[in-house]
Amino acid sequence: MGIIIVEICDGSLIREIDIADLLEAEYPEVAVLESTCLSFCGICARRPYALVNGKRIFAKTAEECLDLIRQCIEKELEIYA
């Protein structure tokens, strides 16, 4: 398992893209976990979102959200550099 955990809800609009395969291939330090519910009631149906090491990341589109997730991952990785 990675040092950076990205959690997604199985109902989240972020699932329009294959976020798990993309991020885990790009960042070996990342583990993507999918849950049935992350308890942010309703946000998954309104906009793409994920949790990166517990921080909520969301955007208007799945692609924008993925870009923000990547930025957050890079920031987290700076700690270990």
pLDDT in tens, 25-70: 999 999 998 887 666 666 767 788 899 999 999 999 999 999 999 9
CA-closest candidate to residue 47, choices 62, 31, 69: 62
Whole-angstrom Cα distance, residue 80 to residue 44?
31
Whether 14 contacts 51, CB under 8 Å: no
Q: What is the pTM of this model?
A: 0.86
Residue 7: predicted pLDDT = 92
